[in-house]
Chains A and B, each alone.
Chain A
């Protein structure tokens, strides 16, 4: 297959992906580390490389409001944010999914104040897991670009009509450079149809949208929204397959298993840290240790089937969380744990909380996690939530 590789950052890869999808309206407010994406898109609009309108909104709340407005007349839309900005959008995120407007967003995963930190973790998007958006986490710049193209196709599918958030780790992915293959516009046009939706205002068929509902109806709307999210699982699978056939890159839809076939102990993670885990898995495998990685790609809809399937085959599962739900445990862990609890088998589990506010998760730490999981299985240790590489004294 012919390739056209250029050396760009994750943010730029997102911009390239968005451009190929020909959005009608882009509305965004700058926030580190998302800025390069919106700068590049502005340049593309200025240069006439894109036909869309770039709206300089005065806040993230207006960014999501404007994209919803544009989507409500049948326009394809894009926005991008991060951290505080994503939280400022929070009302709009729920509003958008309830309105069934398939807005696509890039979120540069960044920590949340206080204390202020511009660096990466996943507390921003994971704290908004319940806002009704499809959430995917990517591992590198190529996946970021490819997921922009897949995102429109998934979100705009008639059975889905649900907005989608493509998450990439702040700085680790947004600001590092990789060789990224830029698909041909013609191929993207063939892959991604023109946006058609029955859920829009038009002069041929005027509609009143964004209405209020009584207790008699509200549950039914929410039920349908939830059903659409489950239907998205099949659509995600089909779109990934079709994408692989068209562009030669496959992302294994909901999750990707790495060397899990005969694994005894597996680490579960989201995003860029998966790249580091792969290296550690290879090293430990070379030393005869049966370890593997489960890369969760979609947090919503959640890959329950895939997690259960893996849990049936292994002795221990460790979950790395670049977030913490204060007073309990990491959010990824809660979700994975819930799935595991539905199988009729004991699996030793552990939650490793770390990488907060941009701290590196090193190969040594990952190796230690695997060893802890082996130790836990062997000694039937108590399962726990552990902040790893802590510089203050732990209560444990």
Chain B
């Protein structure tokens, strides 16, 4: 196996100018499409790309205007991981060398409907990189709550009103659920830290077997944020500690950023239409949950 430490780092200077995902119909400022675009720049031509139902498949494959410059395929909604596993197995059985299969699935496609197949894929250690672009709700169908929608979010199925603050559950702990499979490599990332994300993709590319990246990807349409702030808001999420950057490698967790102080949670939330209604009490609930999580991560991972 390649020593992951020795892989040349990807940066703005050496990254390819080739585009593998363009001409699609995503909303202006779409964070998911940034994640796909950057990841494919790292993965390159010899990539089979599989996407379940979701924003990126909806905007990328409208016949006859195909937006992927790599081989690409829309999968069944619950079967992204298994269809990708089949691609990888088929390629192997046909003797194809130097091939990577990648999945780009949304938060609902990953943490909810596609989870069983994903668990099976990791269990079999199939040679697939699974990237979950997390915009924290079912955006393609019109902003409905998923298993990764955070507490307090107003969605079309968790409306905020006098009786409820919007979503009443916290995000599923996806990264650790994946790591609990004892996967060869898993990471969290944010499009607000693109170089970190791309280098994690690069590590996964050079890891044989099942790998997973959970990348935070903003959605101006669903979040109620200006289109030009998509990268900024994805960075804010990390800086205020609601999203963390970490890796799981060789059975060990690693916190990539462990700031002494967090930026304001309230500032991050109040920039977004989906959180506008939140009371100080709601924000307190979110902050406490963050602090508890970080205390545990610092205790167990450092």
Contact = CB atoms under 8 A, between A and B. Distances in A.
A275 interface: no
B48 A62 contact: no
Nearest to B78: A61
B76 A92 contact: yes
B58 interface: yes
A52 B84 contact: no
Nearest to A67: B86
B117 A62 contact: yes
A210 B87 contact: no
A201 B66 contact: no
B83 A69 contact: yes
A251 interface: no
- Decide if the interface of chain A is mainly helix, strand, loop or mixed: mixed
A210 B74 contact: yes
A151 interface: no
Contacts of B64: 217
Interface stretch (A72-80, A105-113, A141-149): A72-80
B93 A69 contact: no
A65 B76 contact: yes
A59 B120 contact: yes
A69 B73 CA distance: 9
Given A24-B94, A57-B120, A211-B74, A70 B89 contact: yes
Interface string B107-147: 00000000011011001101000000000000000000000
A210 B75 contact: yes
Contacts, number: 160
A222 to B, nearest CB: 13
A197 to B, nearest CB: 12
Contacts of A66: 79, 82-83, 85-86, 89
A95 B82 CA distance: 14
Contacts of A208: 60-61, 66-68, 71-73
A132 to B, nearest CB: 15
B233 interface: no
Contacts of A203: 45-46, 71, 96
A200 to B, nearest CB: 9
Contacts of B117: 58-59, 61-62, 65
Nearest to B70: A206
B178 interface: no
Chain A interface extent, by class? 35 or more
Contacts of B67: 208
Interface in B22-75: 45-46, 48, 50, 57-58, 60-64, 66-75
Interface in A196-242: 201-203, 206-214, 217
A91 B90 contact: no
Interface in A16-36: 24-25, 27
Contact of B79 (A53, A65, A74): A65
B91 interface: yes
Contact of A62 (B72, B82, B94, B96): B82
B76 A95 contact: yes
Contacts of A74: 90, 94
A69 B87 contact: yes
Closest 10 CB pairs of A and B: A69-B86, A65-B79, A70-B90, A58-B120, A62-B82, A66-B86, A75-B90, A201-B71, A24-B93, A208-B66
Given A61-B82, A70-B86, A209-B73, 9 more contacts: A62-B116, A65-B76, A65-B79, A68-B76, A75-B94, A203-B45, A208-B67, A212-B57, A213-B63
Interface of B: 45-46, 48, 50, 57-58, 60-64, 66-76, 78-79, 81-94, 96, 116-117, 119-120, 123-124, 126
